[in-house]
């Protein structure tokens, strides 16, 4: 994924004493400067005072102009991203910082360049183990100040918006509530998190735990979740209102009739009020991490498509974006953010078990061009969700009738 790169100043001093730059070091520097993937993969870290950068520049300025080392290092400092961290860097105590941050790519001497571990641009979940998945997520998110999860199906699959049956969600759907009312059992409706088989809930909580435990910004890290509401799911609820109304009008029992009205009003109210606020609240509460008291977690719900000139942009891609002071990286996650299977059921269990989905359609693929990044994160710029005019009219008509 993406990694901080720290080169001890002694390395440049050692290179200065050589007649020519070793080929492996020269090739590595060239990749960092010119190769899109390497430019995305690596970044320097420094403190707010730019301690390391100032040392590097001082060394460079003492190299004679025109020498290959001067040209190469000068270009390296200009091109590579430098991420500011909230730690003071002391060159004499650099080793301790490396240990503290668990920096994987630390070059203290020239020989260290012979031990550069090869990494892949794409990791598919059917090819890796859970430990590797965790490692990749930690490395990708560790230095992010803002981390954005983008997936149009989070709201639909994580909540009772799609009105799954009780055996699939742990929540009675509207048809099951209607059957209870026929037995004179009172029922109401409100949007809530599915209680069982909730792959998105399990997956997002696991990833958030990894972030809060390992991100260097800790409680200051901002988490943004972007999802969508599909018109067909709202239309389905509006159609259920029509069904309840027919039952209400044909019912003679006053008690049952009253119960139909209560269910009708609760569904109507849930749809009519600001669903952005409703779903933001319940998802935020659901994803709270127990060992982290302060969480800057925001949920935004967008339209599933956006008109742009003569074309229509659809919210389909799923991604994770990490933004810092300089880093701005995006990974394509493939099928969705529901990386884990939630095996919880209606039966009482000592502990809910979950397993990582070993499917090639789920992946972590680092994007290294601005075009690819923009394409994956376009939905974040869509307008916030609201009911269509047709849906608003349907709701007005039904309640007036």
pLDDT of residue 401: 47
65 confidence band (pLDDT: 50, 70, 90): confident
Q: How far is CA 143 from CA 29, 110, 207, in A?
A: 22, 26, 15
Cα atoms found within 13 Å of the Cα of residue 265, Cβ hemisphere only: 7
Which of 40-49, 297-306, 373-382 has the highest average model confidence (pLDDT)? 40-49
Contact (CB, 8 A) for 363 and 122: yes
d(CA 171, CA 177): 10
The answer, yes or no, to whether residue 294 has pLDDT greater than 70, is no
**Least confident window among 62-76, 123-137, 195-209, 223-237:** 62-76
Which residue, among 125, 143, 145, 144, has the nearest Cα to 133 in the 3D structure? 125
pLDDT of residue 194: 96
pLDDT tens for each residue of 152-199: 999 999 999 999 999 999 999 999 999 999 999 999 999 999 999 999
Contact (CB, 8 A) for 230 and 279: no
For residue 288, what are the β-bridge partners? none
pLDDT tens for each residue of 247-279: 999 999 999 999 999 999 999 999 998 899 999
Quote the mean pLDDT of the chain.
91
Average pLDDT over residues 309-337: 92
Helix, strand, or coil here: 237?
A: helix
- E strands within 113-211? 122-124, 146-150
The answer, yes or no, to whether residue 64 has pLDDT greater than 60, is yes
396 confidence band (pLDDT: 50, 70, 90): confident
d(CA 234, CA 239): 9
Helix, strand, or coil here: 73?
A: helix
Sign of CA dihedral 352, 353, 356, 359: negative
d(CA 296, CA 146): 9
2 CB burial (10 A radius; 0-12, 13-18, 19+): buried
d(CA 292, CA 299): 18
Contact (CB, 8 A) for 260 and 336: no
d(CA 55, CA 163): 61
Residue listed under structure tokens 């989905």: 357
pLDDT of residue 198: 96
pLDDT of residue 20: 87
The DSSP bridge pattern shows strands 319-323 and 354-356 to be unpaired
pLDDT tens for each residue of 88-130: 999 999 999 999 999 999 999 999 998 888 889 999 999 999 9
How much of the chain exceeds pLDDT 70, in percent?
96
User: 25: which 2 tokens?
Assistant: 């070091």
Sign of CA dihedral 335, 297, 353, 134: positive
Q: Locate the domains of the chain by residue range.
A: 3-118, 124-400
Contact (CB, 8 A) for 105 and 88: no
For residue 70, what are the β-bridge partners? none
Which residue, among 77, 94, 69, 82, has the nearest Cα to 19 in the 3D structure? 69
How much of the chain exceeds pLDDT 90, in percent?
76
Which residue, among 270, 284, 273, has the nearest Cα to 158 in the 3D structure? 284
For residue 313, what are the β-bridge partners? 306
């Amino acid at each position: 994924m993406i990694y901080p790169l720290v080169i001890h100043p002694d390395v440049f001093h050692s290179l200065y004493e050589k007649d020519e730059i070793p080929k492996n070091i020269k090739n590595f520097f060239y990749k960092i400067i010119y190769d899109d993937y390497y430019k995305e993969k690596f970044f320097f870290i420094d403190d707010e005072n730019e301690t390391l950068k100032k040392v590097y520049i001082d060394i460079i300025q003492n190299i004679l102009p025109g020498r290959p080392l001067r040209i190469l290092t000068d270009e390296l400092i200009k091109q590579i991203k430098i991420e500011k961290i909230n730690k003071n860097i002391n060159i004499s105590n650099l080793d301790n910082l490396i240990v503290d941050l668990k920096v994987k790519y630390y070059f203290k001497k020239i020989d260290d360049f012979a031990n550069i571990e090869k990494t892949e641009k794409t990791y598919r979940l059917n090819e890796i183990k859970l430990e590797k998945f965790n490692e990749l997520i930690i490395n990708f998110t560790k230095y992010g100040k803002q981390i954005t999860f983008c997936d149009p199906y989070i709201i639909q699959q994580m909540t009772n918006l799609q009105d799954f049956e009780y055996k699939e969600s742990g929540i009675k759907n509207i048809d099951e509530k209607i059957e209870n009312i026929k037995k004179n059992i009172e029922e109401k409706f409100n949007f809530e998190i599915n209680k069982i088989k909730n792959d998105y809930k399990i997956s997002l909580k696991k990833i958030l735990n990894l972030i809060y435990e390992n991100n260097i910004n800790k409680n200051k890290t901002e988490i943004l979740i972007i999802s969508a509401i599909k018109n067909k799911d709202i239309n389905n609820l509006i159609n259920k209102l029509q069904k309840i109304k027919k039952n209400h009008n044909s019912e003679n029992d006053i008690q049952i009739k009253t119960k139909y009205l209560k269910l009708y009003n609760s569904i109507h109210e849930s749809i009519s009020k600001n669903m952005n606020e409703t779903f933001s609240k319940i998802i935020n509460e659901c994803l709270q991490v127990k060992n982290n008291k302060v969480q800057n977690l925001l949920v935004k719900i967008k339209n599933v498509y956006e008109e742009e000139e003569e074309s229509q942009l659809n919210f389909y891609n799923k991604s994770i974006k990490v933004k810092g002071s300089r880093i701005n990286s995006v990974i394509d996650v493939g099928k969705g953010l529901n990386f884990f299977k939630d095996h919880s059921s209606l039966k009482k269990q000592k502990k809910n078990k979950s397993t990582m989905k070993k499917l090639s359609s789920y992946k972590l693929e680092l994007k290294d061009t601005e075009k690819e990044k923009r394409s994956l994160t376009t939905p974040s710029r869509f307008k916030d969700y609201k009911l269509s005019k047709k849906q608003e009219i349907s709701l007005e008509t039904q309640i007036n009738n």
